[in-house]
Structure 1
């Protein structure tokens, strides 16, 4: 039960689970540990799990045909990690999800999640709410990428995710922002000079 406390606390922000429902949830999910560098899903494989991060840090990225990584998301404690499109459709993943630190997750398989929806109908409402939030966040990021300069995007990133910057190498932050690590270094120097 103790390993599940972060997930139960997170869910209880949206819906309230009874002790019987919590037991069902634990019965139909898996607590798993990954080592730094391990993949939860790789591009081209079907994403088998929606993973709630209990401890650790992950990156979701696309590898282009030239072998360049394009970071789309980071994930830390109390966040979710998956290639959602692949998970929902059970088709090959467009993205990789890789651990940047030793990571512990609670995983919902596609089948177990469908079963939980039947046994705990309010879980569907919970997942709808968090997917809506993720969608809105994604849309806002697209607008920022079109409308803000690299410097403004970096400042926004630091403000929105201060706990991530300390845990992720600068070259990955540069990839997330869509700039080179050299340009990010220049932007950071400018900001330091202005302070």
Structure 2
């Protein structure tokens, strides 16, 4: 685990800040630790925060009207997670966020984020670039779901999340891929026999 003293340099890689800016950033990022199994956000909650994952593994998921879970995102070290639809539109959450392994997170409120934008313009550029990359990744994922076989999607998944299978259950991966756990087992068996 990394030292807490380096949190600003870990979160904002390649950015340089003055001592005053570092103090400002530290004043609005709030550290919290969560145990495996904690539900960080439930559908219907008001979403005022996004979270930087310093250590741990989380997932965001939606439960449809039939009670079926659809995993939208896994969050691992150095990723951000929230219900972004609700966060950006000031509406109630449609997602749930669950802690899959003990986690250290840094919480940033929408209000504090806007304040940082005004005080330290390079942070606004940093988050814009993050959003651009996230949007591109979600678009790739949609195209993958529409055009690739389940095996190809699984191969992409293990390339994107190489060590995640130690932290998540098979049904989490299956719900992320939009397949059954039986299909996932079949895919793994086929791949291991090649």
Q: TM-score range by the shorter chain?
A: over 0.9
Equivalents in 2 of 1:24, 1:135: separation in Å? Answer: 28
CA distance in 2, matches of 1:20, 1:7: 13
In structure 2, how many angstroms separate the alpha carbons of the residues matched to 1:66 and 1:166?
29
Q: Structure 1, residues 106-157: CA drift from partner, whole Å, max 9, x if none? A: 1111111111111112111111000111100100011111111001111111
Partner of 1:59: 59
Could you tell me whether the CA contact under 8 Å between 1:85 and 1:93 is conserved in 2? Answer: yes
- Between the two proteins, the alignment pairs up a number of residues equal to 192
TM-score by length of 2: 0.94
Match of 1:190 in 2: 190
Q: Does 1:49 align with 2:39?
A: no
TM-score, structure 1 as length reference: 0.93
- Which residue in 2 is equivalent to 1:73? 73
TM-aligned CA distance change 1:39 to 1:7, over 3 Å: farther
Q: Once superposed, what is the RMSD of the aligned Cα atoms?
A: 1.3
Aligned to 1:3: 4
Q: Is the 8 A contact 1:6 1:78 kept in 2?
A: no
Q: Give 4+ residue runs of structure 1 displaced > 4 Å after superposition.
A: none
The residue matched to 2:163 in structure 1 has which SS?
Answer: helix
Consecutive unaligned residues in structure 1, runs of 5 or more: none
- Equivalent residue for 1:37? 37
Structure 2 match to 1:177: 177
